[in-house]
Every structure is written in C-alpha cells, then in structure tokens.
A = this chain, B = another copy of it.
Amino acid sequence: MRGFGSRRAPILASRRKSIANWSKTRVKALVKESAAPGLKLKDVAEPTMREDEVLIRVRCAGICGTDVHIYDWDAWARGRVKPPLVVGHEFAGEVVDVGRLVTDVRTGDRVTAEGHIVDGRCPLCRTGNAHVCPRTRIIGVDRDGCFAEYITMPATNVWHLDDNVSLDVGGIHDPMGNAFHTALTAEIPGSTVLVTGCGPIGLFAIGICRAAGASHVIASDVNETRLALARRMGATVTVNPDGAADAVRSATGGLGVDVVLEMSGVPSAVHQAFDLVRVGGRVQMLGIPSKPMDVNFATEVIFKGITIYGVVGRRMYDTWLQMTRFLRAGLFDPTPVITHRFPLTAVDEAIRAIKSGEAGKVIFEID
C-alpha cells in the first residue's frame, strides 16, 4: 500500500470526482478466503463505486462478536457467509471519492456508516422500520466489509461525524448505536435499570442510561475486568450474576427494576431478566442466546405483565441522531470501553484479545 497515502493528499486537494486512474490499484483487506476458520490479510481489487455510492478510506474499525463467528467459521457463519469476502462492519474514515448522483457527501468528509444496506422502498423502510427491512444486506457479512483500506458505501448509509468526535469513536458507532437503540427505546429518565452482561454494548448502555437520567443502574457480569469498566461507565452498583437478585431487591424495595437491558444472551441471564424486572416492566433483548432455551411464559412473562423488545441493529436514523447528540454534548464518553487497538496485520492477536473475556472494545487502526 506504499505510495497510496501520498497519492491521497492531491486527491483531496483536487476534490476530483473520478477514480478512473485507480482502476488497477489493489488495497489491503482482511478476507475470509474459503469455507474454513481464520482471516487473511490480502491485497484485493479496490472496491468499485456505484454512482450513488461513496468511496471511504477506512481509518478505524471495530471488531464485533459477529466477526469472531466468521473467523471461527461456526455454524451460523457457515450458513450465512459466502467466501471470498472482506469482513468487518464497524468503521470510520474519510471520504475519498463520491458518485455522480451523491449530493450531500464530499471528499474529505469524516464519516461512519450504517452497515445495514436496506432496499429503502419496502413498506417497512417507508414507515420508519428500515432496521428490520427484510432485504437487508450487511457489509462484512453479505457483501464486502470494512476491514480494509477502502470501502464503498451507498451515500444514504453514510453518517457524518461531528468535528469533536474522534475517528476511533467513529469506528464504533455501530455497536454504540446498538446500545443507544436498546437503552433509549425504553423509558430511562427516573428509571431503575439492570444491565445483564458488560461486554462493549452493555458498557456503552450503562453510560447512556446514566446520561439519560436512570436513577439506578445495576450492572451484572461474571468478569471483574468488565465490572471495573462498568463502574467507570457509571454503574451505580456492579455485581456478579449471583448477586444480581439481592442488588435489585435492595435498590427497588423488592419490586424489581423498571427496565432490564439483556446484553449477554446467556440463558441464566435471560431468566434473571424476567425474574428481576418489575411487574409491568420492560426487558430489552439484545444478547443472542446461541440455541433454544426453556421459558415459562406463564410465570416469567404473562402473569408479570411485562413487555419484551427484540433489538435489531439501530433505528435508521433516529438512533444515529441521538448518538450524535449525546457525543456532541459530551453527555457520554465511550472511550474507556476501547481497551485494545491493533493493526490489520494483528488480526489473530485481536481475536484472541476478544476471546480472553478481558477486553472491552477491540478496534483496528489503519494508517
């Protein structure tokens, strides 16, 4: 990729609208080459930009559990992903070229993007439910992703970063957006909240709930490192799952919390969510149980009169606007959650860091 960086400056300077002379260029990317575990850093053809798309030079990219599934080539990955594929769906960078039809993105813009590419025309997209568009294609899963020096994105998916938002924070807007979506579709001001699972999204959610006026945020996890991060993000109380019931009862006079954010996907935590939410309360489910589990709907859901909400992605683009507002105002600082930074070459090390259970958010930094 040597020489490429030096070429970028004049491009920006000239705001040129064509990448014709790049056509033979190859760029580095982390690729799932074949139906087997692992990811490989390769030179690939530079992505081809459509007229309604932009070309973005990726500077920071977050690694998600989904990427670990693809790396490991587990059952879900085998059923969904078609190699070869450039992986990765969380990123920020700078726009280096824009298609002819694009009107509101310019070269040089600092941007991130919604990684769910939707049809924009189905009844769901047209009525504020694009986050569940049945024709969603996800970058890094269904088409080439962002663990690469360059990526193309439809202009409609591009989201501008505020000047005071750094590129590393830009690179984790996707999971932060999950956290905002999970937290702020519940009624948070004045509410008591239990967050089960302090992975990166749970940690973000803790900070968001505090900034939005939750009166008490109890964070639960099995891992002490994560609980320390939870305290740093503002959790009122942090507990091991064994202690969650006592913590909730003590904080709520035995009633249960108004809202549970279930961020773990662990069956015992799901049961705890139903057990510890108050009658008439709300359970937001983001963590994905890996297989079916037993549920007693009578006692856990119906007699309790609760509401359960399954969280998919981020609301387009209500969640993004809220996120920008919180970041711009300094209401919420996600940077303590970013614990590890690697170059693309260190992919195996990055995956190991995630699997250790000791990491917060792990990101790639791409020069």
Binding site for B on A (CB under 8 A): 52, 101, 103-104, 121, 123-124, 126-129, 131-132, 134, 156, 184, 188-192, 211-213, 215-216, 236, 255, 265, 270, 278-280, 285-286, 288-298, 301-312, 316-318, 320-323, 325-326, 328-329, 331
Contact = CB atoms under 8 A, between A and B. Distances in A.
A292 B308 CA distance: 17
Contact of A312 (B286, B305, B331): B305
A199 to B, nearest CB: 15
Given A190-B212, A295-B295, A305-B311, 19 more contacts: A52-B101, A101-B101, A123-B255, A124-B278, A124-B279, A126-B321, A127-B317, A129-B280, A131-B280, A189-B189, A189-B212, A189-B326, A215-B331, A216-B329, A279-B312, A290-B298, A294-B295, A301-B310, A302-B310
23 contacts: A123-B317, A126-B321, A129-B280, A132-B304, A188-B189, A189-B213, A190-B323, A211-B213, A212-B213, A213-B331, A215-B329, A288-B303, A289-B297, A289-B298, A290-B298, A292-B294, A293-B297, A294-B295, A301-B308, A301-B310, A302-B312, A303-B310, A306-B310
Contact of A305 (B121, B131, B216, B323): B131
A69 to B, nearest CB: 12
Most buried by B among A124, A236, A298: A298
A68 to B, nearest CB: 16
Most buried by B among A189, A279, A294, A308: A189
Contact of A189 (B134, B280, B316, B322): B322
A286 B302 contact: yes
A212 B214 CA distance: 8
A190 B270 contact: no
A302 B309 CA distance: 8
Nearest to A270: B297
Contacts of A307: 307-310
A213 B323 CA distance: 11
Contact of A294 (B293, B308, B331): B293
Contacts of A303: 288, 310, 312
A294 B294 contact: yes
A211 B311 CA distance: 26
A285 B301 CA distance: 9
Contacts of A190: 184, 212, 321-323, 325-326
A323 B298 CA distance: 25
A5 to B, nearest CB: 31
Nearest to A297: B289
Contacts of A297: 270, 285, 288-289, 293, 310
Nearest to A129: B280
A287 B76 CA distance: 32
